[in-house]
Every structure is written in C-alpha cells, then in structure tokens.
Amino acid sequence: MRSSIAGGKNDDLVHDKALENTKNICYTLCCLIELMKQTNDQAPKRSKRGRRKTTPTVLLGRKDTLAKTTWLYHHQNLTQQQIADELGLSRPTVVRLLRQALEEGLVTVSLRLDVLRQMELSAQLAKRFELQEVFIVPTSVGHTEADILRAVGEMGALYLENNIQPNQVITITWGRTLLEVARALNEIPLKGAMIAQSLGGLNSGHTFNPYGVASLFGEKLHAPVYQLYVPVLVASKELRDLFMSDPGVQATLAVARLASLCMVSVGKVDHSATVVQTGFLDASTIDQMRVRGAVGDISGRYFDIHGKRILGDVDDRIMALSWEDFQSLKNIVAVVCGLDKKNAILGALRTGLISRLIIDDQTALALLEESED
C-alpha cells in the first residue's frame, strides 16, 4: 500500500516534469519565431525601382569592372546608382568608370545619319543667310501640306515655350502658319507678358479671323493682347495717315515696337495667297505687286527676290508696322514651309530682317540649291 502510494507520487513528478519541459520548448519556439520576424523586418527590402542591392561575391578585375559597368549602363539601361549597388561601388566611381570607357574608346557616340544631315543643313542655311539659328523640321514623302504645316507650327510653339520670358512683349503677324503655332502652344501663364499684333485685319468676310490668332496666343500665355482694329489695306495714303493718328492704333503699334521677340510668317504673291483667299487683298492688287517684282511679304511689307522692299501705292496704304520698325526689332523668328513659297522665303531671308528660321527640310534644301545658282 505504501509502495503503491510512493509509485503514484513518482508518476506525478514525472508528469509534472514533462509538462514543464513542454512549456519550455513552446516558449523557446515562440521566441525563435519572434526573432525570425524581427530579422525579416530588419532585412533590406527590394527597391520598388531597379534591382535589389547586393554585394558582389566575386571581386572583378579593373578591366572586367570597366566592361561590366559600361554594359549595364548602355545596354541594360541601369542608372548609375543601380550599377553602384550591383557592383558594390560608390556612385562617383561609376561616373569615373563611364567617363573612362568613353576616353578609352570602349564606347563610341554616333548620330543617326538623317539627324546629322539636318544639323548640316541647318548650319549651311545659317551661314548662307547670316542667321543666328535655323530649326529644320523633318518630313516624309507621305506627309500632306497640312501635315507639314502642323509640324512646323509645333516646332514654332516649341521654340516659344523654350524662349519666352516674363515681362516680355511678343509681336506677331497673322496667317495660317502662325495659327498652327498658336494651336500647338501649351498653356504657359507668363507674368507680365504682352501680345501685340503687327498688321490690321478688319476687311474680311471670310472664316479666317486674324484677331483669333492673336487672341489664341494671349489665351495660351495668359497675356493681354493689343489688337490692331483697322483694315489691312485702306483706300488712300491720306486715309492711312488718318487711321494711324488714332490713339488706339498708336498705342498698339507702340507696344509692338517694344517686342523682344517677333514671330512672323512669309506670304507669297499669287492668287492662292492667304491674303487673297481670305479677302484681305484683291487679285488685281496682287497682280500689281507681282508686276513690280514682288515675290513675298512680311506683315504686308513686300519685297523682291533680292530682298529689296517694294515701295509705292500699296506700301503707302498698308496698315502695319513699317519696314523701319521691323529693322529695329532684334529677334524676328520666321516660321515657314512649302516649296510653293520658295521664292518668297528666299527673298525674305535676303531682306536681312530675319534672325531665326523654322522651316521644313524639303524647302530648306530647295533654298540652298536655289541660292547656289
């Protein structure tokens, strides 16, 4: 009986000891699991962009490091920081290696042939006509006249977006080319800027609205617009002088003369010209100008193939900035296109009024070939 009781006590002791060991094991497992969680939380996470930072397990030689850095940068398009993380280098070391690859000829830089040709064409035109800058707009055989006009307009808008400044006066002519520039222009609020029109435009019953061009420029730049609310051409010199004495006209032209940037298009002299098609000038007036040797105009001021201005009755009746006003402007940017305007553009370039040219590649090439004859 005593033995039996003793045996029972021993069994209880064994059971309690086993229970205690089980608790200890569970506690230890819990601690290990918690430790693993903490370790995972502290481990470096994969970057949202690029590769995970790793330390190379194999040390690369100098040439291998140079080659791999160059390959990762130029062929795998990794950033300099990603390469530094990949190879266990500092970012300045990666920069130095990339520069070294260029200096040692491991990497060569080349331009596409068509881009190079455009650059050469631009330089040749600038030199031939003493222009500060020439921007060539690439075209293809499949492009329509409307496509080319739109592309040149987009380039004109791009030039403006990169060069306009606050408190700047921008004087513009009007026409379909500048309308495309205005349409392509992004909305850029320009503090203190003003838009001024260089040429009248009241006498048209057609759908084209010259004031809409200036207004669209003003809308895109959040700038006030000084419109010239007079006809393009009046009946006599005396009437022109009377209009010119109007305070409103004088104020608009005074602002236009302050322009640090003037953007113009170039008109041709035939019955398909915008000024004829829209009813601003009649066909007989254009015929008269052509007989006198005119090939084109800038804001109603006509010139011949040599860039010499055409004086006379029409010039006396035009409501616009004078030739001398344009001569005093320091930065006149011409936005032009079309082989049908080749002679007009050639004459315009020879006037000496234009500082910068935006033109399609086909017409640019034709101008060079023509001027060499």
The domain spanning residue 90 has which CATH number? Answer: 1.10.10.60
Comparing 262 with 118, which gets the higher pLDDT?
262
- Distances in whole angstroms, Cα of residue 330 to Cα of each of 53, 167, 260, 298: 55, 17, 7, 15
Domain endpoint, select from 83, 109, 135:
109
Instruction: Mark whether 140 and 260 lie in a shared domain.
Output: yes
Q: Containing domain of residue 209, as a range?
A: 113-372
Eight-class DSSP state of 319: -
* Residue-by-residue DSSP string for 85-140: HHHT--HHHHHHHHHHHHHTTSS-----HHHHHHHHHHHHHHHHHT-SEEEEEP--
E-assigned strands of the chain? 133-137, 169-172, 194-197, 225-226, 261-264, 267-268, 296-298, 301-303, 332-336, 356-360
Q: What confidence tier does 370 reach under pLDDT thresholds 50, 70, 90? A: confident
Residue 52 has φ and ψ, to the nearest 5°, of -70, 140
Instruction: Mark whether 189 and 288 lie in a shared domain.
Output: yes
Q: What percent of the chain has pLDDT over 90?
A: 59
* 264 contacts 332 by C-beta, under 8 angstroms: yes
Domain endpoint, select from 109, 131, 150:
109
Mean pLDDT in the chain?
83
Instruction: Mark whether 94 and 143 lie in a shared domain.
Output: no
Domain endpoint, select from 71, 94, 109:
109
- The per-residue pLDDT for 58 is 40
Eight-class DSSP state of 159: H
**What pLDDT digit, counting tens, does each position of 227-286 carry?**
998 988 899 999 999 999 999 999 999 999 999 999 999 999 998 888 887 777 888 889
Provide the number of structural domains found in the chain. Answer: 2
Q: What confidence tier does 27 reach under pLDDT thresholds 50, 70, 90? A: very low
Contacts of 189 (CB under 8 A, 6+ apart): 221, 222
Q: What confidence tier does 46 reach under pLDDT thresholds 50, 70, 90? A: very low
Q: How far is residue 89's CA from residue 82's CA, in Å, rounded to a whole number? A: 10
Q: What percent of the chain has pLDDT over 70?
A: 79
Report if residue 315 sits inside a domain: yes
Instruction: Mark whether 54 and 168 lie in a shared domain.
Output: no
Q: What confidence tier does 61 reach under pLDDT thresholds 50, 70, 90? A: low
Contacts of 38 (CB under 8 A, 6+ apart): none
Instruction: Mark whether 85 and 203 lie in a shared domain.
Output: no
Instruction: Mark whether 213 and 247 lie in a shared domain.
Output: yes
- The per-residue pLDDT for 258 is 96
Instruction: Mark whether 88 and 125 lie in a shared domain.
Output: no
Instruction: Mark whether 282 and 184 lie in a shared domain.
Output: yes
Instruction: Mark whether 121 and 147 lie in a shared domain.
Output: yes
Report if residue 85 sits inside a domain: yes
Report if residue 38 sits inside a domain: no
Instruction: Mark whether 214 and 91 lie in a shared domain.
Output: no
Q: What confidence tier does 208 reach under pLDDT thresholds 50, 70, 90? A: low
Report if residue 11 sits inside a domain: no
Instruction: Mark whether 58 and 137 lie in a shared domain.
Output: no
**What pLDDT digit, counting tens, does each position of 157-204 carry?**
999 999 999 999 999 998 899 999 999 999 999 999 999 999 988 765
Q: Beta 296-298 vs 301-303: how paired, if at all? A: antiparallel
- The per-residue pLDDT for 195 is 96
Tokens of 66: 């140079």
What is the distance, to the nearest Å, from the Cα of residue 354 to the centroid of all Cα atoms in its chain? Answer: 21
Instruction: Mark whether 101 and 133 lie in a shared domain.
Output: no
Q: What confidence tier does 98 reach under pLDDT thresholds 50, 70, 90? A: very high
**What pLDDT digit, counting tens, does each position of 134-168 carry?**
999 988 878 899 999 999 999 999 999 999 999 99
Report if residue 6 sits inside a domain: no
Report if residue 29 sits inside a domain: no
In this prediction, residues 118-130 reach a mean pLDDT of 91
- The per-residue pLDDT for 272 is 85
The domain spanning residue 344 has which CATH number? Answer: 3.40.50.1360
- The per-residue pLDDT for 111 is 61
Q: Which of 34-38, 63-67, 72-76, 237-241 has the highest mean pLDDT?
A: 237-241
Q: Of 10-19, 145-154, 227-236, 364-373, give the lowest mean pLDDT range.
A: 10-19
Which is nearest to 231 in space by CA: 271, 266, 282? 282
| Residue 267, beta-bridge partner list | 297
Report if residue 222 sits inside a domain: yes
Q: Is the pLDDT of residue 218 over 60?
A: yes
Report if residue 78 sits inside a domain: yes
